């Protein structure tokens, strides 16, 4: 496979992944009730949309045309998210972000073009930060739940 084709395929895969992550973040935002978590997931969705725009511009620059994004990129067959547990939603989001992080690492190992590498490095650094934030949120929610239980037992 030529370098040009490999680069374009990786860019398209990352573009699709970012759209999926943005959609998943919006779904979680619509399910949860905590206003601060709603704001967090809205910002997360916005970041993924921005990443997708940057990747689309790279595809346009190297391929000469705006990439066609098929509707399945937006509508994956994920099981419907439910409001059952915020912890489960965070875990699902963490897994998807971790997979995307692996995809960025793969892209970094295979593509050596300057502008693409710079974008991948920036996005990968942001994904590392997102993973840390999601893990911290999960820990914080567990801690908050423990404190509520302790307070209920004291009263």
Q: What secondary structure does DSSP assign to 16-76, as a single string?
A: HHHHHHHHHHHHHHHH---HHHHHHHHHHHHHHHHHHHHHHHHHHHHHSSPPP--GGGT--
Task: Determine the average pLDDT of the residues in 120-149.
Answer: 86
Percent of the chain at pLDDT exceeding 90: 31
Residue linked to tokens 């547990």: 85
State the virtual CA torsion across 102, 72, 48, 109 in degrees, nearest 10: 30
pLDDT of residue 82: 57
**pLDDT(67) > 70:** no
Supply the pTM of this predicted model. 0.80
pLDDT of residue 98: 93
State the virtual CA torsion across 65, 67, 53, 136 in degrees, nearest 10: -150
Q: What is the pLDDT of residues 72-100, one digit of tens each?
A: 554 554 555 555 678 888 888 899 999 99
Quote the tokens at residue 37: 């978590």
């Amino acid at each position: 496979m030529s370098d040009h084709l490999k680069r374009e395929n990786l860019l398209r895969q990352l573009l699709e992944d970012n759209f999926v992550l943005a959609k998943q973040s919006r779904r979680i935002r619509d399910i949860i009730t905590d206003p601060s978590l709603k704001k967090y997931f809205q910002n997360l969705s916005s970041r993924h949309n921005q990443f997708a725009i940057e990747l689309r511009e790279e595809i346009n620059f190297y391929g000469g045309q705006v990439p066609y994004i098929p509707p399945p990129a937006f509508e994956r067959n994920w099981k419907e998210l439910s409001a059952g547990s915020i912890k489960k939603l965070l875990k699902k989001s963490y897994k998807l972000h971790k997979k995307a992080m692996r995809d960025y690492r793969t892209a970094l190992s295979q593509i050596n073009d300057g502008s693409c590498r710079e974008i991948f490095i920036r996005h990968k650094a942001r994904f590392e930060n997102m993973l840390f934030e999601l893990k911290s949120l999960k820990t914080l929610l567990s801690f908050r739940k423990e404190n509520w239980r302790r307070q209920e037992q004291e009263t």
